[in-house]
Chain A
Amino acid sequence: MADHAPTETLALRVQFDTEAQQKDAATLGMWLFLITEIMFFGGMFAVYTVYRSWYPDVFAIASSSLNEIIGALNTGVLLLSSFTMVLAVRAGQLGQQKAIVMFLILTLLFGGVFLGVKAYEWNQKFEEHHIPGQAAFHLDGVLPGDQGHAQLFFSIYFAMTGLHALHMVIGVGILLILIVQARKGRFSASYYTPVDVAGLYWHFVDIIWIFLFPLLYLIDRHLVK
């Protein structure tokens, strides 16, 4: 054992035969984690599906009270962050250490803008009294008897966007750690696995938003003018 230790590198730990095998194992492990995340969010998408099928009209009115232009622009910001993230991974593949740092910082910036806009949107909901459980809750255009169903929509809205934002905050933390490590020159063309799997995580969170945006913001907008 002892004579193996000096040859061990970040890119090739002793338990692997080749660098490629180690990399495949890391990728597969990250995907397995992401699948548990799919099921985690999946439960909430199931809740959404059931309640929207029960109260389609109320959900359409409640959805139309969200600002879809802000939502669409924020979606664009998040897609941009995914773009810079994949460029950081590409810089890792090429072993361009400065480019890794630059693209990770850009990703962090776009992620921060997304969260800032989200905070602004949530604050709007408080000002409009669209907070479920609030005594003053009132959604215009919905009958008094249906106000509870409108509260259901906003409960789901806050739970799903909140859980998504929590993942973004965790992603921001991961990015900060990666930026520090990348600045120290830890990553190279033969070892950039942390950047790679963090990229998978970031893109996954992006995909969740790709579904949240039309499902929450864009329900039957033609019905409500």
Chain B
Amino acid sequence: MSHPPEQTHIDSVGTYVKILLALLVATAVTTAVSRVDLGAFSTVVALGIACVKMLLVALFFMHLRHSTKLTRLVVLGGLLWLAILLLLTLTDFATRGILGVPGK
């Protein structure tokens, strides 16, 4: 067997070039927008752009678009655990002192 397995999906170079350009533009945008006063939204915008870049890299460069359902499920599971790590940590740190300490 010298031919690739049938389900191997080969993207064109043009597709990868477009993704690279999108990633570079997003990097320039996030750098430029950090000088603009957006208040609390500056963090939201910065992380939003980073998430878009992550999706582009994961879906195209890491071939998640063509991955098996099991692989995709495992990746989503990993992100779920990361969300638990961050959110449950913040349930402590973000709410400390809200109710005060009895007796003090």
Contact = CB atoms under 8 A, between A and B. Distances in A.
Interface of A: 11-12, 18-20, 23-24, 27-28, 31-32, 34-35, 38-39, 42-43, 45-46, 49-50, 53-54, 68-69, 71-72, 75-76, 79-80, 82-83, 85-87, 89-90, 93-95, 188-190, 199-200, 203-204, 206-207, 210-211, 213-215, 217-223
Contacts of A80: 20
Contacts of A11: 1
A156 B90 CA distance: 18
Which size class do B's interface residues fall under?
A: 35 or more
Interface in B9-60: 10-11, 13, 16-17, 19-20, 23-24, 27-28, 30-31, 34-37, 42-43, 46-47, 49-50, 53-54, 57-58, 60
Chain B interface secondary structure, helix, strand, loop or mixed? helix
Contacts of B5: 18-20, 23, 190
Contacts of A86: 16, 60-61
B71 A90 contact: no
Contacts of B77: 35
Chain B CB within 10 Å — which of A54, A89, A90, A210 has the most? Answer: A210
B77 to A, nearest CB: 7
8 contacts: A38-B78, A38-B81, A49-B86, A54-B93, A86-B60, A210-B53, A213-B27, A218-B46
Chain A interface secondary structure, helix, strand, loop or mixed? helix
B2 A190 contact: yes
B34 A68 contact: yes
A219 B90 CA distance: 20
A68 B4 CA distance: 44
B16 A31 contact: no
Chain A CB within 10 Å — which of B47, B49, B63 has the most? Answer: B63
B61 A46 contact: no
Contacts of A93: 4, 8, 10
A34 B86 contact: no
B42 to A, nearest CB: 6
B57 A82 contact: yes
B74 A199 contact: no
Contacts of B3: 189-190
Interface of B: 1-8, 10-11, 13, 16-17, 19-20, 23-24, 27-28, 30-31, 34-37, 42-43, 46-47, 49-50, 53-54, 57-58, 60-63, 67-68, 70-71, 74-75, 77-79, 81-82, 85-86, 89-90, 93-94
A24 B71 contact: yes
A75 to B, nearest CB: 5
B46 to A, nearest CB: 4
Q: Pick the 8 closest A-B CB pairs, nearest first.
A: A35-B78, A218-B34, A214-B46, A222-B37, A20-B5, A72-B31, A83-B20, A221-B34
A20 B68 CA distance: 11
